[in-house]
């Protein structure tokens, strides 16, 4: 027997239509090079219709890819809806990637048009001759700078044409809405294509009380770049609930972020750990508070306990979210579930530093090296596998797809444990876990503990060759500015000793000026290992 329900497609179009109708005066705020810009859902809706109609004039057919090379601002936000709602595919290009990676990605995706910020035109024009399928470039911002990009169109010219009679098409919810590429730490980046259905369901999960609890009462600052995993779906989810939205453009320095948090009375925000560390340091230095900010999601890399603690002491709930480009991206969120609330502060913080519980519709399991399913005992480590309605089922036009799946589950490449309560605890990336004397040592666990030292700003742990034990941990530590030259190896080891078995302790500690990072702000272990390839352990 079939359910007698309407077959109404789950399209992203619905979110903006609803917001423009129910919250027409709600603001979308952007910090631009020329100053603060304000618009509303009603105004954006009209501009999006004009922009959607213009895509056909640019020669982009339904199903073709529209690239963006841009920071976070209202025009990029308009593309988040104009492109997928008109049955095209939004492809956000990471502006921090090396030129050869951008070339590979744009050509592999077969981008037909690229929308580019005026401040990023010089970077794009250097690689434009190698972009074989691009028919036109659209410059967002003021007057187009002098450039070799051809043919060149001004964004505002596209939204000047009337489109009051434009009707967004209706189509299958499983058609592609957006496309992102992995960061490509090994080999070429891999393309992930998201359906309207996947992003619609992911956005709905963001409004659940046990996840981000987004609502129309929120003022949301999206710090995570719009070119990174669909900005963690925040533009879609915020529009769905009718929240105020704020975008920082390229101004990600702590003083700029804090000013937006203050001036726009932000209640919810999202960014990587390094962003929040910088914000807290700035607040401490300026002796400021953020009375309106109550919740923030943090991801991209493991969140140190010390960071959660610092935010908590300011009355801000920092939620560790875990996910990947392949999971749209949110898959789990750290929280204290019912029945576990009666615990001490330290125990609660340790729980919140795990990757948490899967959000509804998502399933996970742990597979050992033989592919057998490991027990949920919180101790047995193996590869984390996942499935769900917004988890990738295949990479775009990539022969590596087959090796990424196991019996219908996506292999994440993360080494993790899963306990009886359902808490995921990621120990490491499979390629970063340290194998010492036949046992696994988690670099992430050591890093988080080291970053809890008051004199430490950042820390990364890598495995280095050992003649007896195969590998041993090497801790690379960045001291806080006021403690440079004043912190020792012994201080680090004494800080770790009460919390780890002796064989887990780093074999050595080196102090470095900085730790290399990937285009999305994660520690680049590959680059760090290359820098230290000639390093020899003492004795």
Among the listed residues 388, 374, 362, the one whose alpha carbon sits nearest the alpha carbon of residue 420: 374
Q: What is the 3-state secondary structure (H, E, C) of 187-241?
A: CCCCEEEEEHHHHHHHHHHHCCCCCCCCCCCCEEEECCCCCCHHHHHHHHHHHHH
Give 441-445 contacts, CB < 8 A, sequence gap 24+. Answer: 441/473, 441/503, 441/504, 442/415, 443/473, 443/525, 444/302, 445/500, 445/504
Scan for tokens 């990937």, then name that residue. 518
Scan for tokens 């007896």, then name that residue. 468
**Burial grade of 471 (CB within 10 A; 0-12, 13-18, 19 or more):** middle
Catalytic residues: 182, 326, 435, 440
3-state secondary structure of 81: helix
If you ran DSSP here, which 8-state letter would residue 497 be given?
A: G
Q: How far apart are CA 515 and CA 477, in angstroms?
A: 8
Scan for tokens 């879609």, then name that residue. 236
- What is the CB neighbour count within 10 angstroms for residue 417? 22
What are the structure tokens assigned to 6, written together? 């309407």
217, 241 Cβ separation under 8 angstroms: no
**Cα dist. 170→12, 136, 240 in Å?**
11, 27, 18
CA atoms lying within 13 Å on the CB side of residue 199: 37
Q: What is the 3-state secondary structure (H, E, C) of 105-128?
A: HHHHHCEEEEEEEHHHHHHHHCCH
Q: How far apart are CA 275 and CA 253, in angstroms?
A: 8
For 405, residues 6+ apart whose C-beta sits below 8 A from its C-beta are 411
H-helix or E-strand containing 311?
Answer: helix 305-313
Q: Are strands 508-511 and 470-479 parallel, antiparallel or unpaired?
A: parallel
Among the listed residues 358, 13, 354, the one whose alpha carbon sits nearest the alpha carbon of residue 210: 358
What's the full length of the chain, in residues?
A: 539
């Amino acid at each position: 027997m079939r359910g007698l329900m309407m077959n109404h497609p789950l399209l992203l179009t619905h979110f903006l239509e609803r917001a423009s109708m129910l919250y027409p005066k709600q603001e979308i705020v952007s910090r631009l090079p020329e100053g603060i810009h304000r618009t509303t859902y009603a105004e954006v809706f009209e501009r999006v219709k004009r922009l959607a109609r213009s895509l056909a004039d640019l020669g982009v057919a339904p199903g073709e890819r529209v690239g963006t090379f841009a920071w976070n601002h209202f025009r990029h936000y308009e593309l988040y809806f104009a492109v997928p709602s008109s049955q095209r595919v939004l492809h956000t290009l990471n502006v921090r990637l090396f030129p050869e990676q951008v070339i590979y990605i744009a050509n592999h995706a077969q981008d037909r048009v690229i929308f580019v910020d005026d401040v990023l035109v010089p970077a794009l024009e250097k690689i434009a001759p190698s972009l074989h399928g691009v028919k036109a470039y659209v410059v967002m911002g003021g007057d187009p700078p002098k450039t070799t990009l051809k043919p060149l169109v001004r964004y505002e010219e596209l939204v000047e044409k009337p489109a009051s009679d434009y009707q967004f098409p209706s189509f299958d919810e499983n058609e592609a809405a957006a496309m992102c590429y992995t960061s490509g730490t090994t080999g070429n980046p891999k393309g992930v294509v998201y359906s309207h259905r996947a992003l619609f369901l992911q956005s709905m999960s963001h409004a659940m009380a046990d996840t981000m609890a987004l609502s129309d009462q929120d003022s949301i600052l999206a710090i995570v770049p719009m070119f990174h995993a669909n900005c963690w779906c925040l533009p879609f989810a915020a529009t769905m609930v009718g929240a105020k939205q704020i975008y920082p453009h390229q101004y990600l320095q702590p003083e700029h972020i804090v000013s937006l948090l203050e001036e726009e009375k932000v209640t919810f925000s999202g960014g990587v750990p390094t962003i929040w560390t910088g914000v807290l340091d700035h607040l401490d230095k300026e002796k400021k508070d953020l009375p309106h900010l109550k919740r923030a999601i943090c991801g991209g890399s493991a969140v140190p306990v010390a960071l959660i603690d610092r935010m908590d002491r300011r009355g801000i709930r920092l939620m560790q979210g875990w996910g990947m480009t392949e999971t749209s991206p949110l898959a789990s969120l750290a929280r204290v579930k019912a029945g576990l609330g009666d615990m001490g502060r330290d125990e609660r913080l340790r729980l919140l530093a795990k990757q948490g519980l899967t959000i509804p519709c998502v399933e996970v399991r742990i597979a050992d090296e033989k592919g057998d399913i490991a027990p949920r005992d919180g101790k047995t480590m193996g590869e984390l596998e996942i499935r769900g309605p917004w988890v990738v089922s295949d990479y775009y036009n990539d022969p590596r797809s087959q090796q990424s799946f196991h019996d219908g589950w996506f292999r994440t490449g993360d080494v993790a444990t899963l306990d009886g309560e359902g808490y995921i605890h990621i120990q490491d990336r499979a390629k970063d876990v340290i194998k010492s004397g036949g046992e696994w040592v988690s670099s992430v666990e050591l890093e988080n503990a080291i970053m809890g030292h008051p004199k430490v700003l950042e820390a990364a742990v890598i495995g280095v060759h050992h003649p007896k034990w195969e590998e041993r941990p090497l801790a690379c530590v960045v001291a806080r500015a006021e403690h440079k030259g004043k912190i020792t190896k012994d201080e680090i080891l004494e800080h770790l000793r009460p919390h780890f078995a002796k064989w887990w302790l780093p074999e050595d500690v080196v102090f470095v000026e900085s730790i290399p990072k990937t285009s999305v702000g994660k520690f680049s272990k590959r680059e760090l290992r290359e820098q230290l390839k000639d390093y020899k352990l003492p004795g």
